[in-house]
Amino acid sequence: MTTITNNKEESLIVREQDVVPLRNRVKEYGVKIGMSILNQTKLITATSELVRNLLKYGGGGKVIIESVSKGRENGVRVTFIDKGPGIADIELAMKDGYSTGKSLGLGLPGTKRLVNEFDIKSELGNGTTVTITKWKNG
């Protein structure tokens, strides 16, 4: 079954102060389709992780929020696009505890566990794009 986009918006993320408003927007998308508090919390936590990576490693970028549906299921899809250095070894970056930033290294693998669909594309020197989808009842 194909996924349809019902509604879409784009935000530029260039500094730390952009994180909270973005998270609130994502939450509003979840509230609008009647997502449970638990799923909302998972979604905004995942958003938080990815937008922080985009700022810290990607040097800022663009985030697209979409309200999507597949059959009778509704959800929220968020895409994080940066034009930073990219990730050399995605498999390694997806491992729990791997960090080049002296951090916990839980952002990418943790996010994958919090959402229903997770897709990461990265090219050295050309940036990174991460797309996540959280279904209302997922």
C-beta of residue 75 within 8 angstroms of C-beta of residue 136: yes
Binds Mg ion by CB under 5 A, chosen from 40, 47, 53, 122 = 53
Under rule CB under 8 A, residue 60 binds another protein: no
Beta-carbon contacts of 106 under 8 Å, excluding residues fewer than 6 positions away, are 49, 96, 97
Among 51, 63, 108, 114, binds ligand ATP (CB under 6 A): 108
Q: Please state, in angstroms and rounded to a whole number, the distance separating the CA atoms of residues 7 and 32.
A: 11
Choose between 8 and 113: whose C-beta lies nearer to another protein.
113
Q: Which does 84 bind (CB under 5 to 8 A by kind): Mg ion, ligand ATP, another protein, none?
A: ligand ATP
- How distant is the alpha carbon of residue 27 from its chain centre? 12
Judged by the rule CB under 5 A, the positions of this chain that interact with Mg ion are 53, 107
